[in-house]
Amino acid sequence: MLYEINTRVWIKRFGKDKKLSEISDEYFKDLADKGINIVWMMGVWETTPQIIEKCCLSPELVTAYNKSLNKWKREDIIGSPYSINDYQINPDLGSLNDLKLLRNQLSKFQIKLFLDFIPNHFSAASKLIDEKPKLFLSGDKELLDYDPVTFFKPEPDKDEIFAHGRDPFFPAWSDTIQLNYYNPATREFMINKLLNLTEICDGVRCDMSILQLNNIFTNTWSGVLNKLDYPKPKREFWKEAIAKIKSQNPDFTFIAEAYWDLEFDLQQQGFDYTYDKRLTERLVMDDIFGIKTHLDADISYQEKSVRFLENHDEKRAVTAFGKQRSLAAATIMSTVPGMKFYYDGQFEGKRIKLPLQLGCEPEEKKSYSVLNYYYQLLKVIQNDVFKHGVFKKLEPVSAGGNNYSFENFFCWQWTYKRELCIIITNYSDITSQCRIKLDIFLDTNKIELFDHLAAISYSRNVNEIKSQGLFIELKGYRSHIFSVK
C-alpha cells in the first residue's frame, strides 16, 4: 500500500525548520500499523524561487489559494514541486544526508521510500538551461511570435528560444522548460538521473509518463520537430530506461502516471505499475456497468494497476463523492487486485484540495466516522487472503419478484488456502437486495459469516446459499466484508 505525502507542506506540522531526518518514529510506526509499506515523498526536489512572481500569482491560482487558505501571505507561495532546478534536495527539507537518514528510518518499519521522477521538463529557470541547453526543445522567433504561450526566452537579452513543457490538450506550463526526447543526449542524461535515484530511494513515481512515448511526443511537437535535424528515435525511452535501471537494480520500482488508455502500453514497456484513473472516474460517475466491465480485465493487468480515489491532482474523496459514497468507493478500490494508493489526509476525511504552489495548509477537523471506517478497512485488507489469495468476481442475482436493485451491487471474493473472504458493496443511494451463490468448501450445514466492518457474526444455512444464494440487504453505499468460518 502506497501513501503519498506533500512533503513541503507536511513537514511544517512537526515544527519550524524541521528536516527530513527529524520526524519521530511514532509517525511512521502508525503508517506501518495501517499496512502502509511505501511512502511517496512528493516534492522533495529543489525548485527555483525566482519563477514564483512570474508564474505562480495568476488570477486563476490566486483564486485557488483564496479558496484553500484564508489570509494566505505572499511567502506562503513556494512554487510547483514539478518545476525543479535539478534532482537535488530542497534545502528547506534538509540535505541529501537527511534524505538518506529518512530512508533508513522508514526501513526500520519495512516501508520503502519513493520519490518523484519528472521526465518531461525542468523549471523554466533551471540552472541546466545555461549548463546544458541542448537538452531542451528549442524554437525560433517565428514560433515565438506565433505562440508566445508555448515558447519563451529564458533571458530576454539573449537570442535563445525554448518551449515550455506541455500536455497537448492544455496550454503550456509557463514555469517549465521542455526536454527534447528526439535528442539522444537528453535520453542519456535522464537515464543517468534515474541511475542516481536508485542510490537514494526504492522507486519512482514518473510524472506524466505518457508524454515521452514516441508517438505522443511527435504529435505534441510536430511543428517544432519538423525544423530540427534529429531523426525520430527507433526505441521507446521507457523501454530503454527501465531496462537499463533494472539490469543494475532489479528491485527498483517504476510507477507511471498514465492516462489516455495507454496504461497497458506502459506496462509492456516495463512499468511495474500504472495509474488506474479510469476506475476513479467511473466510481465518481456511479458507472456501475463500466466498473464491472473494467474489473473483467486480465488479472496480470489488474495486478499492475494503481487504485486510488484522491491524490495531489484530484479533489479530496469526501468532496468528490460525499462522505458515505467515498467510503463505499474506498472499500471497492481497497479490495480489488492492484496497488492500493492513499493520500495524506484521506483517512481523516480532509476536504480541501491544496494547490501545489501553496506551502502551508489550513486546519481541518478530523472526521472520526471516516477515520474509524478506514481503521477497520485497512486492518482487514492486511490479511494474507488479500496479499496472496485468488480474486474472483461474483454475480449478484435478484432476491425475488420484480426487484432489480441487485444490479447496484459489487461482489467478489478472495480465497487463500482454507480462507474465504467475501466483499459486497451496495453502490447506490437506496436500500438494495440481492442473492449471491457461493461455493462453500466447508463440510457443514451452517456457516458463520463475520463482518469485519460491523464486527457482527451471522449464522447462515449452507444449503440455502448453494441453492438460492446468500441473501443480502444493505442500505445505500454500505458494505460487508465477510470472513467465512
Model pLDDT for residues 305-315, shown as the tens digit of each residue: 999 999 999 99
Same domain for 399 and 339? no
Same domain for 445 and 415? yes
Model pLDDT for residues 397-409, shown as the tens digit of each residue: 998 877 789 999 9
Q: What percent of the chain has pLDDT over 90?
A: 90
Model pLDDT for residues 329-348, shown as the tens digit of each residue: 999 999 999 999 999 999 99
Q: Which structural domain range is residue 87 located in?
A: 2-386
Q: What's the pLDDT at 468?
A: 87
The whole-angstrom distance between residue 339's C-alpha and the CA centroid of its chain comes to 10
Q: How far is residue 421's CA from residue 433's CA, in Å, rounded to a whole number?
A: 20
Q: How far is residue 45's CA from residue 89's CA, in Å, rounded to a whole number?
A: 5
Pick from 159, 69, 68, 86: which is nearest to 128 by CA?
Answer: 86
Q: What is the CATH number of the domain that holds 27?
A: 3.20.20.80
Model pLDDT for residues 144-194, shown as the tens digit of each residue: 999 999 999 998 888 899 999 999 999 999 999 999 999 999 999 999 999
Q: pLDDT band at 442, cuts 50/70/90?
A: low
Q: What's the pLDDT at 402?
A: 75
Same domain for 399 and 283? no
Q: What's the pLDDT at 74?
A: 94
Calculate mean pLDDT across residues 368-393: 96
Domain boundary residue among 360, 386, 412?
A: 386
Q: Is 53 helix (H, G, I), strand (E, B) or coil?
A: helix
Model pLDDT for residues 111-133, shown as the tens digit of each residue: 999 999 999 999 999 999 999 99
Model pLDDT for residues 463-477, shown as the tens digit of each residue: 888 888 999 999 999
Domain boundary residue among 386, 414, 446?
A: 386
Same domain for 427 and 372? no
Q: What percent of the chain has pLDDT over 70?
A: 99
Same domain for 473 and 363? no
Phi and psi at 317, nearest 5°, equal: -60, -45
Q: String of b and e for 308-336 (b: at least 16 CB within 10 Å)? A: bbbbbebebbbbbbebbbbbbbbbbbbbb
* Burial class of residue 178 in the structure, from the number of CB atoms within 10 Å of its CB (0-12 exposed, 13-18 middle, 19+ buried): buried
Q: How far is residue 44's CA from residue 358's CA, in Å, rounded to a whole number?
A: 14
In this structure, is the dihedral angle defined by the CA atoms of residues 313, 316, 319 and 322, taken in order, positive or negative? Answer: positive
Residue with cell 476525511: 349
Is the predicted pLDDT of residue 444 greater than 80, yes or no? no
Quote the mean pLDDT of the chain.
95
Same domain for 273 and 188? yes
Q: What's the pLDDT at 306?
A: 98
Same domain for 304 and 198? yes
Phi and psi at 54, nearest 5°, equal: -80, -35
Residue with cell 477537523: 365
Domain boundary residue among 354, 386, 418?
A: 386
pTM: 0.96
Same domain for 204 and 237? yes
Q: How far is residue 373's CA from residue 340's CA, in Å, rounded to a whole number?
A: 16
C-beta separation of 102 from 21 below 8 A: yes
DSSP state of 429: S
Q: What's the pLDDT at 18?
A: 95
Number of domains in the chain: 2
Q: How far is residue 335's CA from residue 407's CA, in Å, rounded to a whole number?
A: 19
Same domain for 346 and 328? yes
Same domain for 183 and 211? yes
Q: What's the pLDDT at 403?
A: 78
Same domain for 468 and 355? no
Q: What's the pLDDT at 443?
A: 66
Same domain for 423 and 382? no
Q: What's the pLDDT at 441?
A: 65
